[in-house]
Structure 1
Amino acid sequence: MQNDFINKLSAYTVLYVEDEDGIRNNIQEILQHLFKETITAKNASEAFIKYRDSKPDLIITDIKMGSETGIDLIKKVRQSDSKTRIIITSAHTDLEYMLQAAELHLVKYIIKPITQEKLMEALEAFVKTHDGEKIYILSKNWIFDHSKSIISNDEEEFSLTKKESKFLKLLITKNRIITYEELENHIWDEDSVMTANAMRLFVKNFRKKLPENFLKNVQGTGYKIIRD
């Protein structure tokens, strides 16, 4: 279960905002081993610029950072973005801050010092907020993000067609052979005919986006997936 959670994190990008160099460097070292991309900023102004440029999946920000606070940053983000997940870190348990934070739809509020246990607990909560969008682990380092119709590994990212995304989800959720008849009925467009040549071309192109030997043809029946 822990490996599944870690694999899911590797599909996301994170922006970490902290004005204390030592803390920022230490937490960055942990995050960059977990996320697809880790971006850092040392204050709210810099963070907002990097947020606009990179559109991260998660923002982890300290509250007190000089003239602009983490709350100020989150309010600016929330003016046009209700989807990006946010975790706040703070050395303070100030009730006013916590009440403001509660209104900004946070994943978690971490009280410093940030231990690995607290951080991992918050990151697990973050992953759970995406469970409805479905991140599937295909094999080691290979991830299928159904909500974005994307397959990715450590080196590449592949955009799936509507047919490919539907077919892959069917293969994963059914976890059995998907027959040619099912492929035609559930995947193929109603206004087109699934000829043998069309199916072979579809599968040939689809395999190029999958882990090696992941999709197996069962002669005369259909297709199934082979996991590591």
Structure 2
Amino acid sequence: MQEILINKLNAFRVLYVEDEKGIRENINEILEHYFKESYTAKNASDAYIKYVQNKPDLIITDIQMNGENGLDLIRKIRESDSKTRIIITSAHTDLDYMLQATELHLIKYIIKPITHDKLMTALEAFIKSYDESKIYSLNEKWIFDFSKSVVTNNEEEFNLTKKESLFLKQLITKNRIITYEEMENLIWDEDSVMTANAMRLFIKNFRKKLPLKSLKNIQGTGYRLTRE
């Protein structure tokens, strides 16, 4: 489970906001190991600048920082951004804070000290939020959004046909070879025939929307995804 989680986290960027230098550096060492990119900020003002510059997928922020309030930072972000995932950390179990935090659509509320187990539980919740919205990581730069039938990387966005989207979901969720017979049942309907030419054309167009060399042909059997 840990290896699967790390592979998924490696597709995302995180911003960690904490005013205590020692804690910030220690936790960031862990985050750097798991995430594609890890940024830090020492207060809410610095955090908002880093957020605008880097567009992280996840923000982990303390609530009280040298007189500044992490909830105000989140409210400011939520004015125009409902998608960035947010985890709050706090040394207090203040009910009022927790109720306010609930209204801001957070992934997790971590009570300090931040142990490795608490952090991993929160990061699992972060990944689960994408799984529930049917978003899958193809590799460290590519994401597949099944609900929108879209594959994206840092620079481009590719719209998939309904058949391509169904095929890619099968490749990801089953994590094995999808046989020609399965492909025929999935992609071709009763009114069409899976000819060799039709198959080649489908795969040729499909490959153009995926990471290079990620779709591997297993001769005489079918296709599977790789993470080269």
> TM-score per shorter chain, which class?
0.7 to 0.9
Q: Distance in 2 between matches of 1:69 and 1:113?
A: 19
Q: 1:162 maps to which residue? A: 160
Deviations 1:129-160 (A, max 9, x none): 11123354668x686533573476xxx87744
Deviations 1:24-79 (A, max 9, x none): 11111110111111111111111112212222111100111123210110111122
Q: 1:105 maps to which residue? A: 105
Q: Distance in 2 between matches of 1:182 and 1:158?
A: 30
The change in CA–CA distance for 1:168 and 1:84 in structure 2 (over 3 A counts) is same
Letter in structure 2 aligned against 1:42: K
State the secondary structure of the residue aligned to 1:86.
strand
Q: 1:50 maps to which residue? A: 50
Q: Distance in 2 between matches of 1:184 and 1:88?
A: 44
Contact 1:88 1:106 (C-alpha < 8 Å) held by counterparts? yes
Q: 2:217 maps to which residue? A: 216
User: Unmatched 5+ residue regions in structure 1?
Assistant: 187-193
Q: Distance in 1 between matches of 2:89 and 2:121?
A: 13
Letter in structure 1 aligned against 2:132: G
**Displacement of 1:110:** 1.0
State, as a whole percentage, how many aligned pairs show the same letter: 59
Q: Distance in 1 between matches of 2:57 and 2:141?
A: 18
| Normalised TM-score (structure 2) | 0.76
Q: Distance in 2 between matches of 1:83 and 1:24?
A: 24
| Normalised TM-score (structure 1) | 0.76
Contact 1:4 1:137 (C-alpha < 8 Å) held by counterparts? no
Q: How does 1:68-87 map to 2 (within 5 A)?
A: 68-87=68-87
Q: Distance in 1 between matches of 2:187 and 2:169?
A: 15
Q: 1:128 maps to which residue? A: 128
Q: 1:5 maps to which residue? A: 5
Q: Distance in 1 between matches of 2:226 and 2:74?
A: 41
Q: Distance in 2 between matches of 1:173 and 1:210?
A: 17
**Displacement of 1:4:** 1.1
User: Unmatched 5+ residue regions in structure 2?
Assistant: none
Corresponding residue pairs, total: 217
Letter in structure 2 aligned against 1:108: K
Q: Distance in 2 between matches of 1:150 and 1:42?
A: 34
Deviations 1:4-35 (A, max 9, x none): 11111111111111111111111111101111
**Displacement of 1:96:** 2.1
**Displacement of 1:95:** 2.3
Q: Distance in 2 between matches of 1:171 and 1:117?
A: 31
Q: Distance in 2 between matches of 1:146 and 1:19?
A: 35
